[in-house]
Amino acid sequence: QHVCLVTTIGKNQNTPYRVSPDENSARTPSLEELQRLLWTRAHPTGHVDEVWPNLYVGDLRMGISHVVNAAAGRFRIDTGPKFYKDLPVDYYGVEAEDNPNFDLSIYFYPVAQYIRAALNSPRGKVLVHCAMGISRSAALVLAFLMICEDMSLAEAIQTVRSHRGICPNSGFLKQLWELDLQKSEPSVIVSEQK
């Protein structure tokens, strides 16, 4: 059996959960285990942090080729397409509210596909940002890592938190957890018999 460690809050101990090596993917941790993982001490949160090769999470623009704004539209922070009009930047806006009741999951696959295409482009560097760079943008980057890099949610959280402090709100965390559960279910192939 493989053992994954989840650090608990306020203690210097680790809580192991066991994963059978026969399983195709690791067991999806509970929401409480994921929250403990997010609440453990992490690197300080800067304005912009590289959390995966050429993929940045933050609250400012920089010398990048593509931008995903997770605070676009009526929830914008004054960084819509006009903000970038004089820069050679490809823009993707997501009208997301940082509210646990907001369904961010409808953007998981489209944003993941956009980020993948951007990273595959020549000199592709992607900034995913929102107001603070810790909830909406972080949730979208976690979804990208799960969808395109085939990580579990726990692995994605650990990957991003090794570079940046993040804290998706409880609703976004639940939506990511549900994505993790969907991804860990065995696929069923149905064939038509003649």
Higher pLDDT, 1 or 90: 90
Residue 117 has a pLDDT of 96
Q: What percent of the chain has pLDDT over 70?
A: 71
**Active-site choice (4, 130, 148, 167):** 130
- What pLDDT digit, counting tens, does each position of 29-79 carry? 888 888 776 766 555 556 777 888 888 886 555 667 888 888 887 655 666
Domain ranges of the chain: 44-181
Contact 120, 51 (CB under 8 A): no
- If DSSP codes are grouped into helix, strand and coil, which group holds residue 1? coil
Closest CA to 92 of 139, 51, 129, 136: 129
Residue 5 has a pLDDT of 32
Distances (CA, A) of 114 to 126, 164, 172: 10, 22, 20
Residue 109 has a pLDDT of 98
Hey, which bits of 8-65 come out as E strands? 14-19, 48-52, 55-58
The residue-averaged pLDDT of 151-172 equals 93
Using CA atoms, how far apart are residues 73 and 149, in angstroms rounded to an integer?
29
Distances (CA, A) of 168 to 18, 66, 88, 112, 177: 25, 22, 30, 17, 12
Contact 49, 163 (CB under 8 A): yes
| Residue 94 identity | V
- What pLDDT digit, counting tens, does each position of 8-35 carry? 233 333 333 333 334 444 578 888 888 7
Banded model confidence at residue 2, pLDDT cuts 50, 70, 90: very low
- If DSSP codes are grouped into helix, strand and coil, which group holds residue 184? helix
**Residues 50, 119, 130: CA angle, nearest 5 degrees:** 50
Active site residue 130: yes
Higher pLDDT, 114 or 130: 114
- What pLDDT digit, counting tens, does each position of 115-125 carry? 999 999 988 98
**Does the pLDDT of residue 6 top 70, yes or no?**
no
Element (H, E) at 69: strand 66-69
| Residue 179 identity | L
44-181 carries CATH number 3.40.50.300:
no
